Amino acid sequence: MFIILFFLFSENLFADDFLIRSPQVYKEEFTNFLNINPQYKSIEQNWREQLDKNSKQLEKKYIKAKFELLNGSAKTAEQFFKQIVEQAYNQDWKESDRKIIVLSHLRLAQIDNINWETWLQKAFEFEANFTLDNNIFPPPFQQKWLKLRDTKTTTKWQPQLPINLIDKVVINSKVFNYQLYSSYSLNDSNNRVTIISNCGFIESLTGSALQIRNHQWTLPRYAQGSCSDHQILPIPNISTFKVLYPQQCVIVAPSPIRNLPLKLSPDITENNKERNSELQEPFKKVVVKDLPQTESSSLIKNKWLWMGVSLLAGYYIYNHNNKQRETQVDVQVKPTHRKDD
């Protein structure tokens, strides 16, 4: 199974106190600034708050599972334990929840006499360095666990990520400070890796060791530049936030442009019905302007021009001849001599 999750949080955030850091700001400087200014909240802080919300349902199921197990209802307890382990890689968990998930795998290994080895392997994949409690697990069971640890192998992962951009790497809900670790252990079959950046993003990936090693992380840069010359891009699911630049310079990010629907009053809508019908038929009226004249069109125009001139000239000659005839008919020439009687 190979799942990529690129997200910030499960729901939109509208708090005005979100603060992200510019990549030019040292992580220690950012942490100190947050300690002095508790009104601000970082991406990592919000992520941890989300872990607290996720753990409530998990804890309730674990309490029910233990209750059923202590009361002799192993089959009912088994169903609750299975519901817990099914969520192991669906999201990130806080440290106490990680322990619940590992213990649920181990309890299933105790209850299920047929698939006990499978449950042990799954527990190891989620947390290889888990120490078994002598008061809960008898020595024979612990020997099985230790034998499995000696035979199972892991794959080293050395992520080539910008150290100034990444704050935390989380593997199967175990948090690592990125600048303190150069390599991490992954299981061959299944892992959940989360990259946390207080520069404005969280990215999670679930898959095999090979898939995670070959994955190209997105690594967006929402804040760049300096205090006097900066560029800030909108962050998905965060409506408003501020950016910390070097020398404790805080810049308010511009609000994202929202495409709100335009509400028209009835009279405006009625007056524009005819206009809207025209817009629905964009090819109904076509106006062609300034088309270049071709040679044939020029000849046609010249032909009609000369025909017009010829007609005018003919009409002029015709009128002139008619006037001469009318003059000859109307004017009587008197004789200059008498006619003999």
**245-260 pLDDT, tens digit each:** 999 999 998 876 443 3
Q: Enter the pTM of the model.
A: 0.70
201 burial via Cβ count (<10 Å: 0-12, 13-18, 19+)? buried
Mean pLDDT of 234-245: 91
Mean pLDDT of 59-63: 96
**In contact, 6 and 228? CB cutoff 8 Å:** no
Residue 308, domain member (yes or no): no
Determine the Cα–Cα distance for residues 141 and 136; give it in Å rounded to an integer. Answer: 10
- What's the pLDDT score for residue 166? 96
Highest mean pLDDT (candidates 7-11, 48-52, 309-313): 48-52
Lowest mean pLDDT among 3-7, 36-40, 132-136, 313-317: 3-7
- What's the pLDDT score for residue 36? 95
Read off the pLDDT band of 54 (50, 70, 90).
Answer: confident
Residue 302, domain member (yes or no): no
Read off the pLDDT band of 206 (50, 70, 90).
Answer: very high
Digit-coded pLDDT (tens) for 107-139? 999 999 999 999 999 999 999 889 999 988 999
Residue 56, domain member (yes or no): yes
Read off the pLDDT band of 215 (50, 70, 90).
Answer: very high
Residue 297, domain member (yes or no): no
Residue 102, domain member (yes or no): yes
Mean pLDDT of 281-306: 39
Residue 34, domain member (yes or no): yes
Lowest mean pLDDT among 121-125, 148-152, 159-163, 281-285: 281-285
- What's the pLDDT score for residue 337? 43
Whats the size of the chain, residue-wise?
341
User: What is the number of domains present in the chain?
Assistant: 1
**In contact, 191 and 213? CB cutoff 8 Å:** no
In 10 A of CB 80, how many CB atoms? 21
Find the domain containing 146 and state its range. 3-252
Q: How far is CA 293 from CA 236, 296, 299, 305, 308, in A?
A: 54, 8, 10, 16, 21
Q: Roughly what angle, to the nearest 10 degrees, separates helices 116-126 and 139-151? A: 60
Adjacent-strand bridge partners of 19: 242
Determine the Cα–Cα distance for residues 116 and 88; give it in Å rounded to an integer. Answer: 18
- Largest Cα separation within the chain, whole Å, is 177
- List alpha helices for 115-219, DSSP H: 116-126, 139-151, 209-214
Residue 294, domain member (yes or no): no
Highest mean pLDDT (candidates 58-67, 147-156, 302-311): 58-67
- Judged against a pLDDT cut of 80, whether residue 190 lies above it is answered with yes
Determine the Cα–Cα distance for residues 340 and 334; give it in Å rounded to an integer. Answer: 16
Provide φ and ψ at 171, rounded to 5°. -120, 115
Residue 306, domain member (yes or no): no
Closest by CA to 231, choosing from 11, 19, 23, is: 23
The pLDDT mean for the chain works out to 79
Determine the Cα–Cα distance for residues 54 and 90; give it in Å rounded to an integer. Answer: 11
Closest by CA to 1, choosing from 215, 211, 217, 174, is: 211
- Judged against a pLDDT cut of 80, whether residue 304 lies above it is answered with no
One-character DSSP codes across 42-63: -HHHHHHHHHHHHHHHHHHHHH
Provide φ and ψ at 331, rounded to 5°. -90, 120
- Judged against a pLDDT cut of 80, whether residue 208 lies above it is answered with yes
- What's the pLDDT score for residue 153? 84
